[in-house]
Amino acid sequence: MKKPLLEFTDQGIYCHPAKVYLDPWKPVNKAIISHGHADHSRWGHKQYITHDSNVPIIKHRLGDISVIGKKWGETFTINGVKFTLYPAGHIIGSSQIKVEYKGEIWVFTGDYKLEDDGVATPYELIKCHTFITECTFGLPAFLWRPQKEVFTDINEWWSQNKANGQTSVLFGYSLGKAQRLLKHLDPNIGKIFTHGAIENMTNVLRPLLDFPETERITRDTKKEEIRGNMVLAPPSAHGSTWIRKMVPYVTASASGWMAFRGARRRRAIDKGFVLSDHCDWPSLLTAIKNTGAEKVICTHGYTDIFSQYLRDLGYDARTEATQFEGESAELNVEPETSESA
């Protein structure tokens, strides 16, 4: 039997004719990396190939690695297999990876979303035969509002807290979510302070994009300076001693999981804003339909329910086990290793 163009192995998604892995979870010789989140760009590969904008991100996260940057739409050939990166709209530098061999086209999405968030290069549709999709939020209950409305709510929340003499502590991933929040916060309301992990990552990205001014919270930052202002922090800062300096404060989390009421209550967060860097249910279905793919492989999220739904629609859909986490880590731990005060 002919081997599939991409196989799911113990090391990761493997392209046999090219001898290359896509977002492998074990150390390999050659890896094409979709984006900078820790579950997709892991440590220990001999060579990394990724989009130019992701190069500074993974260098910041992984240190001195051997990495080659590619542009959107730039095709490169390895052992006769053509690879091209296209924007995935998930976070800065996030790519879908198109794999083309002997007339057959596969697309691996990594993580993606269709809405233009004003930070990541917007998602681009690629026609293919087989579409490997995440489905982090692959349930009909997940339906996002336009981000403009969500940011209006976030800025109103901040204004209200300020009027009450309270500091607003807003939690989001230090890579991706934090910069999206920062980009759309209204600096006219007050100052924006940051946790060290967010400040460091944002500084890596400042040469690529304009962001409002921020100030890192250090040991020397006075409590009175922070009061009434905005503090951006990674989810792991919640419940840490670091946060005591913000008293009196109110907390909020910006995540797709905030669509679940219980998620906010369980974490003892005052306010939840439903804001995700992943597709919601209708976006997943739209993306899949528009690719024209007959075969769909679901990698992470509500894979069983979602692939069953696709089969009911007539797709040749299945689930493959991977070690990708989507946004699940956001509820508990920050997938960052370098956290300073």
Binding site for Zn ion (CB under 5 A): 37, 111
Closest CA to 260 of 154, 141, 151: 141
Q: Which is nearer to Zn ion, 25 or 249 (CB)?
A: 25
CB atoms within 10 A of CB 340: 10
The answer for residues whose C-beta is within 8 angstroms of residue 317's C-beta and 6 or more apart is: 295, 296, 297, 298, 307, 308, 310, 311
Q: Which is nearer to Zn ion, 111 or 117 (CB)?
A: 111
DSSP characters over 204-221:
HHTTTS-----EE--TT-
Q: Tell me the C-alpha to C-alpha distance, in Å, between residue 116 and each of 120, 146, 180, 338.
A: 7, 10, 11, 29
Q: Which is nearer to Zn ion, 37 or 264 (CB)?
A: 37
Distance CA 5, CA 7 (A): 7
Minimum separation from the CB atom of position 61 to Zn ion (A): 13
CA 221, 222, 224, 225 torsion-angle sign: negative
Q: Which is nearer to Zn ion, 272 or 326 (CB)?
A: 326
Minimum separation from the CB atom of position 111 to Zn ion (A): 4
Minimum separation from the CB atom of position 37 to Zn ion (A): 4
Minimum separation from the CB atom of position 1 to Zn ion (A): 33
Minimum separation from the CB atom of position 155 to Zn ion (A): 25
Q: Which is nearer to Zn ion, 111 or 199 (CB)?
A: 111
Torsion of CA 142, 146, 148, 149, to 10 degrees: -60
Minimum separation from the CB atom of position 35 to Zn ion (A): 6
Beta strand 167-171 with 230-233 is parallel
Closest CA to 198 of 237, 163, 233, 244: 233
Q: Which is nearer to Zn ion, 37 or 42 (CB)?
A: 37
